[in-house]
């Protein structure tokens, strides 16, 4: 996992670093399971909630699926979604404005969400609203693939982007330098996804927990 931190010498430009950083493969039991469904059921609607990946777009459209890109962490951290501060000086987040701008689908519903590690990096006031919007926007039986960090310190907690492969691995690449906000326990995952039909957890050897959540 320490190799996630390696990158080419591109100065301090985060866009350049993100696009040219090396990729490393990582086995993913959750992706292996979801991939079989994507290969067996053409015509699904997919949300990719990570940084735009031509690799992902080409793979999914090549299987006959439609793809909606929504870089949630970038949009949340780089956008202007606060309206002043509360009495204690904490920013007041406008979750409705964020959802209207970044997760507005004009009535379309989806079958699969590639959420990656987005919930670990979103500001706290946006986590529950984002999960609720995804629930409202998914078809029954839809699946969310999510990765969760098991700790908030260490080099494995750097923000990364993920690329799909035709096998049982995903490719991991250094992303924009957004700080991790939280680590999820099994109980906190169940609390955030309260009301969903169920989930399947996949054990990993690194600092990530993998979950397939069912709508």
SS3 assignment, position 75: helix
- Is residue 179 within 8 A of residue 115, CB to CB? The reply is no
Q: Which domains does the chain have, with CATH numbers?
A: 2-214 (3.40.50.150)
Q: How confident is the model at residue 204 (pLDDT cuts 50, 70, 90)?
A: confident
pLDDT tens for residues 3-35?
A: 444 443 344 444 444 567 899 999 999 999 999
* Run of H or E including 43: none
- Is residue 98 within 8 A of residue 79, CB to CB? The reply is yes
Residue whose structure tokens are 């029954």: 140
Q: DSSP label at 180?
A: P
Distance CA 163, CA 50 (A): 9
pLDDT tens for residues 83-138?
A: 888 878 788 899 999 999 999 999 999 999 999 999 999 999 999 999 999 999 99
Q: Taking Cα atoms as reference points, which of 21, 53, 9, 49 lies closest to residue 158?
A: 21
Q: Taking Cα atoms as reference points, which of 123, 148, 164 lies closest to residue 213?
A: 148
CA 70 to chain centre: 9
What angle in degrees, to the nearest 10, is found between the helix axes of 124-136 and 95-102?
50
Helix ranges (H only) for 14-165 are 14-20, 29-40, 54-62, 72-78, 95-102, 118-121, 124-136
pLDDT tens for residues 28-87?
A: 999 999 999 999 999 999 999 999 999 999 999 999 999 999 999 999 998 789 888 887
Distance CA 46, CA 108 (A): 11
Distance CA 51, CA 21 (A): 14
Rg (CA), the chain: 17
Distance CA 15, CA 26 (A): 23
Q: What's the pTM?
A: 0.90
What are the CA-CA distances from residue 191 to residues 111, 135, 166, 187, 203 (Å)?
A: 22, 14, 33, 6, 19
What are the CA-CA distances from residue 49 to residues 8, 72, 130, 146 (Å)?
A: 25, 6, 11, 10
Distance CA 157, CA 141 (A): 31
């Amino acid at each position: 996992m320490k190799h996630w931190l390696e990158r080419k010498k591109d100065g301090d430009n985060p866009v350049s670093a993100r696009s040219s950083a090396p990729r490393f493969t990582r086995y993913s039991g959750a992706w292996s399971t979801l991939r079989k469904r994507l290969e067996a059921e053409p015509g699904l609607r997919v949300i990719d909630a990570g940084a735009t990946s031509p690799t992902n777009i080409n793979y999914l459209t090549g299987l006959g699926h439609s793809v909606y890109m929504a870089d949630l962490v970038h949009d949340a951290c780089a956008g202007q979604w606060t309206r002043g501060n509360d009495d204690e000086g904490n920013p007041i987040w406008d979750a409705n404005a964020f959802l209207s701008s970044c997760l507005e689908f004009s009535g379309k519903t989806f079958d699969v969400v590639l959420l990656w590690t987005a919930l670990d990096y979103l500001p706290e006031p946006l986590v529950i609203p984002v999960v609720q919007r995804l629930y409202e926007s998914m078809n029954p039986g839809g699946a969310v693939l999510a990765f969760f960090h098991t700790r908030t310190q260490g080099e494995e907690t750097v923000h990364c982007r993920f690329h799909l492969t035709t096998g049982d691995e995903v490719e991991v690449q250094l992303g924009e330098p957004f700080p991790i906000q939280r680590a999820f326990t099994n109980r906190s995952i169940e609390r955030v996804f309260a009301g969903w039909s169920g989930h399947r957890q996949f054990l990993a050897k690194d600092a990530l927990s993998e979950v397939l959540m069912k709508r």
